[in-house]
Amino acid sequence: MQEQTFFMIKPDGVKRGLVGKVLGRLENRDFRIEDLQMRMITRELLEAHYADLVDKSFFEGIATFMMSGPVVTGIASGPDVIKSWRTMMGVTDPVLALPGTIRGDFARAQENGAIQNIVHGSDSPESARREIQIWFGK
């Protein structure tokens, strides 16, 4: 099914110079990059994006991490891109993420109160619609 997903290269990925590698993986899979923007995250954007995590004990750790430097946000499209991108990212915890996935190849174990895992991707069609609206207003 042809669809769109929202993706992000988090501050650790940008700081470590992995933007090209991450975008290259999307392009290698023949997904189309529809929109792309580098930016600093505001508190407002972060709380909207992670609305389901705001009450968690580790949210302040995430906030410090996610606002520690610029992120690259984008929209990718293609058949089943939402699930495919989640598969390409690997599971949330880098300790468990399989080699071959972005998190499994580039991320380390949790440090400083936040799991720093290089990338984000929408987890469902509803999340994709919501996140594209939050970040790109469309």
Q: Give the residue with the Cβ less far from ligand IDP, 30 or 99.
A: 99
* Residue 117 assigned as binding residue: yes
Local structure of residue 68 (DSSP, 8 states): S
The H or E element that residue 88 is part of is helix 81-89
Residue nearest to ligand IDP (CB): 92
Q: Are 73 and 42 in contact (CB under 8 A)?
A: no
* Residue 10 assigned as binding residue: yes
- The answer to the question of residue 15 lying near ligand IDP (CB under 6 A) is no
Q: Are 22 and 102 in contact (CB under 8 A)?
A: yes
d(CA 55, CA 6): 23
Q: Is position 120 annotated as part of the catalytic site?
A: yes
Taking CB under 6 A as the criterion, the residue among 22, 114, 118, 132 binding ligand IDP is: 114
Amino acid making up residue 102 = I
Only one of the segments 11-19, 25-33, 58-66, 130-138 lies at the binding site for ligand IDP (rule: CB under 6 A); that segment is 58-66
Q: Which residues are catalytic?
A: 120
Q: Which residues bind ligand IDP (CB under 6 A)?
A: 58, 61-62, 92, 110, 114-115, 117, 120, 123
